[in-house]
Chain A
C-alpha cells in the first residue's frame, strides 16, 4: 500500500479500497485511534482516502508509517470482526440473550423479606449502626492531611 507522508503536519495518507473496507469499519477504527490521531476520510467511487493526523507534536517518518500500519491492522480487525459476527450471530445472540435474561433473575425485582420490615429487625440494625458510629468516633482519624497535586493522566500505551 502506498503511503503519503507529510512530516510537517505530521500526517500520513493512504487509500483504502471499498471492496475490502467498509465505512462502519473506518468509523470504529477512527474511534479506537481517537487518542492517537485525527482521522479524516474522503469517499470516492472505489475507495476511501484516509488521512491520519498524528496527535504527537513531532512524529518521524517511521512513526507515521507505524501509525498507518497499526490503523490498517485495526481496520482489518474490524472487518474480520464483522465477518465473524455475521457468521456466528445466531449462537452469540442466543448466548447474550440467555445470560442477560438469567442475570435479571425473573420479571420481579428481588424484594427484601417481610422480616426486614419488622420492628425487631429495624431495631437490631439501628443498634449495629450506633455501635459502628461510636467505634468510628472513638478510633478513626479526625484530621484529613493536605493532599499533593493530582497525578497527571497516564501516558498512552502504558
Chain B
C-alpha cells in the first residue's frame, strides 16, 4: 500500500465541523488520529459520512468522534490537553535520564554488525580510566533530571570490570547524597561473568541485559567469539543461572535479566526458533529490533542488511507466532516493539523509547559517553564518530558543563530536525502522534539530519510496524492479547520520577533497554 493516501475522490467535503486530524486509508477502513494522541477506526462509508457532515448527534459514532476531539465545535479542551500532556510528557522533562557509558571498546566477540568489536581484547588503551570515570559520573550528576539511569555498554563492559564497579559505587554514593533516583544497568554478552561479579551486580541492584539473537546456528553466526567457540551456549547458561538466582530471592525478582535480539538477514528463516527459544527460557519479553546501517554495520550492509519491507515482513511473521503462543496459553512472552507502540496508542503515554519521540531523544533524553570522556548525542552518534566523523560529538566530560552541551549547535540541529511538524510527509501522517525520526539514522543513510522522509527506510519500516499493530487491533483475539500485555507490562521508563533515592529501588525494574 502507498504510504501517502488521499481523500475519497468526488465526495462532498464539509470541513467546517471537522477537528484537525490526520488519516490513513487502510484498505476498506480509515484510521484517524490527531495531535491529542487520540485515534479512531472508521469504515470507509462512515469516513465519507464524517467528511460530508453526515454524522449527527443521534448517530452512534457521534460520541466516539466527540470524545476523540475530531469534531471542531465539540472539544473538551481540558480532557484533550491532559491527553496531550501525558503523551508528550517528555517535553517537560528536565534533561536526559539515560546515560550510556562505554567503559571500553574492547570485546571478545566479533559481531557481524557491531561497530566496536574491531578492538582486540588486549588493547587496554581503549578502556575508560578511573579519572575519566569519575568525571563522567560527575557530569551525569550535573544534568538536572531527578531520575538518572547509567547503562554500561561497550565493547564488552565486563572487560573493564574495575571501572564498572567503581562507577556503580560512586554513582550510588552521589545519588544518596543528592537524594536522586538512580538506576544502573549493564548490557553484556555475559561470557566473562563470574559468581563474584554476579554477587556484586545483584547486591547493587544492577539491571542485567544480554544479547541473544536466536538458536546457536544463528547466534554464533551473528556473534562469533574471537577465535571461535560456542557463544550462544554461554549466554543461555548465564541467563538461566541469573534467573535462578533472582527467583530464589524475592527481593531480586524485579531484577530478572532481559535479552535483546538484533535482526540480520540470517535471522529471517528462524522466526519460529527465536520465539521458541525466548519462550522456553521463560523470558518476559522479546524485542524484535531492526539492524541500522550505522557505523560498522554500514560497511557490511550488503552481506547482512535488508530492506525495510523485508524487516516488516519478518516482524509480522514473528509477532503472529508470539500472539499465537499467547492465545493458546503456551507462553506469555511479550513483544517489546508492540508494547512501545501500544503504550502510545492505547494508553496515551510515552514509553520512554528515545527513537520515537518528537523531538528525538538525542541529548534531550539520552547521552552517550565514550571511554575517553567524549560526549555524544546518542550511542549511534558515537558509532558515527568511531567511523571517523565527529559530527555528533557535543562535548567532553573534562571540558564542558551541561549547559554547553545543550547549547551545542549539533544539539540544536538534532532537536530542530526531529520535530515532526518540520518534516515533509510526517506532519500529515496518521502516525505522527506516536512516531519520531532519528537524526543520526538519516545522516548516515541520507547525508542529512533532516533526511528525506518520502524515500527514508526509517519511514517505510515504522509505517509498516504501525500498520501491523493497527491491523491487529481490529482482530479481537490479537487485541485481547495486547490489552493483557499492557496490563502486565511494568517495564516502563520512569523518567522524571519525583521520588528521590539514595540506594537504588528494589521495587521494580524501571529500565527497559
Residues in chain A within 8 A of chain B (CB atoms): 28, 31-35, 73-74, 77, 80-81, 83-85, 87-88, 91-92, 95-96, 98-100, 102-106, 109-110, 112-113, 115-116, 121, 124-125, 128-129, 131-133, 135-136, 139-141, 143-145, 147, 151, 153-155, 158
Contacts and interface: CB of A to CB of B under 8 A. Distances in A.
Contact of A102 (B94, B160, B401): B94
A132 B446 CA distance: 44
A22 to B, nearest CB: 15
Nearest to A85: B422
B364 interface: yes
Given A110-B142, A145-B120, A145-B123, A135 B162 contact: yes
Given A84-B427, A113-B179, A141-B121, 9 more contacts: A88-B427, A92-B416, A95-B91, A99-B415, A103-B406, A109-B402, A132-B165, A139-B161, A154-B298
Contacts of B287: none
Nearest to B428: A84
10 contacts: A77-B453, A88-B421, A99-B364, A103-B406, A110-B144, A112-B174, A115-B177, A129-B130, A153-B387, A158-B298
B390 interface: no
B422 A84 contact: yes
A136 B127 CA distance: 11
Interface string B79-105: 000000000001111111000000000
A116 B427 contact: no
B162 A116 contact: no
A135 B387 CA distance: 32
Nearest to A138: B162
B257 interface: no
B364 A95 contact: no
B162 A77 contact: no
A145 B302 CA distance: 31
How extensive is the interface on chain B, given as a class? Answer: 35 or more
A124 B130 contact: no
Contacts, number: 166
B403 A74 contact: no
Given A77-B454, A128-B170, A95 B419 contact: yes
A32 B447 contact: yes
Contacts of B93: 102-103
Contacts of A144: 122-125
B173 A109 contact: no
B432 to A, nearest CB: 11
Contacts of B402: 104-105, 109-110
A92 to B, nearest CB: 4
B293 A158 contact: yes
